[in-house]
Amino acid sequence: MNITYIVGNGLDLQYGLKTRYKDFYEFQNKVYISRKENKEEYSNFIYDSLFSDKVNDYENWSDFELSIGKLTKDHDLISSSLEMKEKFIDDFSEVVDDLREYLRIQQENNLEKGNAIDFVSTLNDMKKSLPVINQPTIEKKYNENLMKSNNYYAEKDKFLLKMIDFLDKNSTEAYFIDMNSKRLNNSLFEIVVKDVDFSIFHSMNIEILQKLKEKNIFIDEIRISKINDYVNTNI
């Protein structure tokens, strides 16, 4: 049996993030009005449609998806020329960038308040809400998967310990990385092999850290990760 958790917008809302479509709609409508007032000839085909639709109840993200679908279906102008197609794509890219920036702001606001999404507690509460008769089976499978995950990290650290024997301070650098999670700050470090593409590793293993220091590879400072968008994903 495999257990798959599908995490949606409800998890954000559970922890107080303003990430409903309605939140984004109201925020971005003000941004849109400001752009129209301050930028000559500014236009965005998608925003023009969304914010002119006075009957849009803009409650759920599905409403946004339906609005985009309706826009492309009802406006032949979009497919009338290559120029219009390219404008639609550019406008949609702007919407995506705006959404990404809005979510980043919400994440920062949440972290400034000292809040963090406790995913483990969420899963535990989910397990407790299941029928009592099913809880032992779910608990057993959960613990098995947790053990597999821990074994994976242990094997990865064994590999890193051996790999460090072939590295030096000229080819490699390591340092603590700036993490959104207070628990991981000054614990999680990054190892970068400079001349090998995609050779970026992470660990909290004390033995590995000591070995890096002994070989003068470790730099005693906190840096932004080379793959910051990945390691600081807000979960």
Spell out the domain ranges in the chain. Answer: 9-112, 120-226
CB 185 within 8 A of CB 231: no
User: C-alpha distances in angstroms, 3 versus 62, 84, 96?
Assistant: 26, 45, 31
Tens digit of pLDDT for each residue in 40-64? Answer: 889 998 998 888 876 666 778 888 8
Predicted pLDDT at 220: 92
Predicted pLDDT at 235: 43
Predicted pLDDT at 201: 93
CB 192 within 8 A of CB 228: no
Predicted pLDDT at 152: 78
- The CA-based angle 150-152-157, given to 5 degrees, is 95
Predicted pLDDT at 141: 75
Q: How do beta strands 172-177 and 218-223 pair?
A: parallel
User: CA dihedral defined by 190, 193, 195, 198, rounded to 10 degrees?
Assistant: -60
Which residues of the chain, if any, have pLDDT below 70? 1-3, 5, 54-57, 115-120, 122-124, 126-131, 149, 233-235
Cα–Cα distance measured from residue 140 to residue 138, given in angstroms and rounded to the nearest whole number = 5
Q: Angle of helix 61-74 relative to helix 21-38, nearest 10 degrees?
A: 50
| Helix (H) or strand (E) run with residue 225 in it | none
Predicted pLDDT at 135: 74
At position 80, the amino acid (one-letter code) is S
From the list 234, 225, 8, the residue with the least C-alpha distance to 106 is 234
CB 114 within 8 A of CB 39: no
Q: Is residue 203 helix, strand or coil?
A: strand
At position 53, the amino acid (one-letter code) is D
Predicted pLDDT at 40: 84
Cα–Cα distance measured from residue 157 to residue 2, given in angstroms and rounded to the nearest whole number = 26
